[in-house]
């Protein structure tokens, strides 16, 4: 299982918090975070005649609770009881893992205005974990922020994962133009103009801010039921094409993807497919 988080790379602090608790009494419950596979000794300062319980079930006796090779099954609330049964201490034990370096991915679906980054934490630490995000140019610059976006200056995004067992940092170095990736086109429509021809139209992705100064080009693919081979057409600069050579009795699936006209970055994912059923002759 993995933990995935999202953020705009200009810097945020994302806190993932857990709420742990059970029955409370005079003694507050203390959280104790331990690494899976470790050994832990938990003292109780209430004399020698003490009983330890876990989740209200008797466990062992003595002033110190020894846990060897802690596993996830050891999760629970441990209570230390005196001779009269009163609770001297309560510990909520949370086994988990120190963070590994987050795997970072950045893309710019709204070039040149902004970019987005996501990161994945594998394995899941199973503990409350914070993520500290920092972003900066790799070299000092005298340009303002808007000017930097139009340069080929490299930038770096650092994601530091922090929990009770440690810290780890992942990073991604990028040039904004290299991570351009539009969202898929939308509002795909198909109009059959004859038995073998159809006009396909669409609109640019709404997240792309300026198709005049930063035009897109489009690739179209279509395939039919019970067939693994698809046909790819384009790229085209206009948001419409006419497909010819369609065969009667087939149901076609048609999709469109977008990319920067100057081939910066990568192509979008395919749009949701739209069906076209060609009547039988």
For 123-145, write each residue's pLDDT tens digit. 999 999 999 999 988 875 544 44
Q: What is the pLDDT of residue 24?
A: 42
| Residues 140, 22 share a domain | yes
The per-residue pLDDT for range 238-278, each reduced to its tens digit, is 999 999 988 888 889 999 999 999 999 999 999 999 999 88
Share of the chain above pLDDT 90, in %: 65
Task: Single out the residue in 163, 179, 195 at which a domain terminates.
Answer: 179
Do residues 130 and 174 both lie within one domain?
yes
* pTM of this structure: 0.73
So what's the pLDDT on residue 4?
A: 56
Q: Domain check: are 83 and 67 in the same one?
A: yes
Tens of pLDDT along 177-195?
Answer: 999 999 999 999 999 877 7
Number of domains in the chain: 2
Average pLDDT over residues 4-23: 36
DSSP the chain: --EEEEEETT--EEEE---------SSPEEEEEEETT--EEEE--S-SS-EEEETTEEEEESSEEEE-S--GGG-EEEEEE-TT--EEEEEEEEEE-PPPPPEEEEEEEETTTEEEEEEEESS---S-EEEEEEEEESS---S-HHHHHTS---EEEEEEEEETTEEEEEEEEE-GGGGB-PPPPEEEEEEE-SSS-EEEEEE--TT---TTTS-EEEEEEEEETT----EEEEEESSSEEEE----TT-EEEEEEEEEETT--S-PPPPPPPEEEEPPP-
pLDDT at position 143 is 45
| Domain that residue 268 falls in | 186-277
Same domain, 123 and 208: no
232 and 162 in a common domain:
no
| Domain CATH for 3 | 2.60.40.10
Check pLDDT > 80 for residue 9: no
Same domain, 27 and 97: yes
Q: Which residue has the higher pLDDT, 59 or 147?
A: 59
> Domain check: are 214 and 105 in the same one?
no
Q: Do residues 191 and 240 share a domain? A: yes
Q: What's residue 280's pLDDT?
A: 79
Q: Which of 149, 179, 209 is the last residue of a domain?
A: 179
Instruction: Identify the domain boundary among 117, 151, 179.
Output: 179
């Amino acid at each position: 299982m993995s933990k995935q988080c999202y953020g705009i790379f200009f810097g945020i602090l994302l806190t993932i918090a857990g709420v742990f608790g059970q029955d409370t009494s005079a003694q507050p419950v203390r959280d104790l975070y331990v690494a899976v596979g470790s050994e832990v000794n938990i003292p109780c300062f209430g004399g020698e005649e003490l009983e330890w319980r876990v989740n209200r079930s008797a466990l062992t006796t003595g002033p110190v609770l020894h846990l060897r090779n802690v596993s996830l099954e050891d999760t629970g609330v441990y209570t230390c009881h005196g001779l009269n049964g009163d609770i001297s201490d309560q510990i909520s034990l949370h086994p988990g893992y120190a963070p590994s370096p987050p795997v970072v991915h950045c893309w710019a679906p709204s070039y040149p205005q902004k970019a987005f980054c996501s990161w994945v934490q594998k394995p899941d630490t199973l503990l409350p974990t914070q993520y500290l995000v920092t972003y900066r140019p790799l070299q000092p610059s005298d340009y303002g922020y808007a000017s930097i976006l139009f340069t080929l200056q490299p930038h770096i995004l650092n994601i530091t994962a922090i929990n009770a067992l440690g810290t780890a940092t992942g990073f991604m170095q990028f040039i904004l133009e290299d991570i351009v990736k539009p969202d898929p086109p939308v509002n795909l429509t198909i109009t059959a103009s004859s038995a073998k021809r159809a006009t396909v139209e669409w609109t640019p992705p709404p997240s792309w801010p300026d198709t005049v100064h930063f035009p897109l080009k489009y690739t179209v693919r279509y395939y039919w039921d019970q067939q693994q081979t698809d046909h790819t057409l384009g790229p085209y600069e206009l948001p419409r094409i006419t497909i010819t050579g369609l065969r009667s009795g087939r149901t076609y699936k048609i999709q469109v993807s977008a990319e920067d006209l100057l081939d910066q970055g990568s192509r979008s994912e395919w749009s949701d497919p739209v069906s076209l059923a060609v009547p039988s002759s």
